[in-house]
Amino acid sequence: MPPTPPPVFICRPHCGACCTAPSISSAIPGMPDGKPAGVPCVQLDADLRCRLFGSPERPAVCAGLQPGLEMCGTDRVHAMTWLTRLEQATRP
């Protein structure tokens, strides 16, 4: 019997932690200078989902953040805490 593939973890609505907690130094449509940590991206929609998801205009750093249990946990609070700690740990 072939191995069972791992479950696919999808981005949940009403979170937006990965679009808020980290700083982004590259340009984002609507934010040509990027964004500081803790500031929501202008590309978040009313459900706190990225309007640029899957678009070539989406910054590479954003595309590199893949939803997963370790980062996202079970709620927005977990995700914000995890990503804020990652942001602090990787500051120059």
Give exposure, 41-65, as e/b (b: 16+ Cβ within 10 Å).
bebbeeebbbebeeeeebbeebeeb
Domain boundaries, the chain: 17-89
In tens digits, the chain (92 residues) has pLDDT values of 777 655 556 778 899 999 999 999 999 999 999 999 999 999 999 999 889 988 899 999 888 888 888 999 989 999 999 999 999 998 87
What gap in Å lies between CA 34 and CA 42, rounded to an integer? Answer: 10
Q: What was the pLDDT predicted at 13?
A: 82
Q: What was the pLDDT predicted at 9?
A: 64
* Pair 49, 16: CB distance under 8 Å: yes
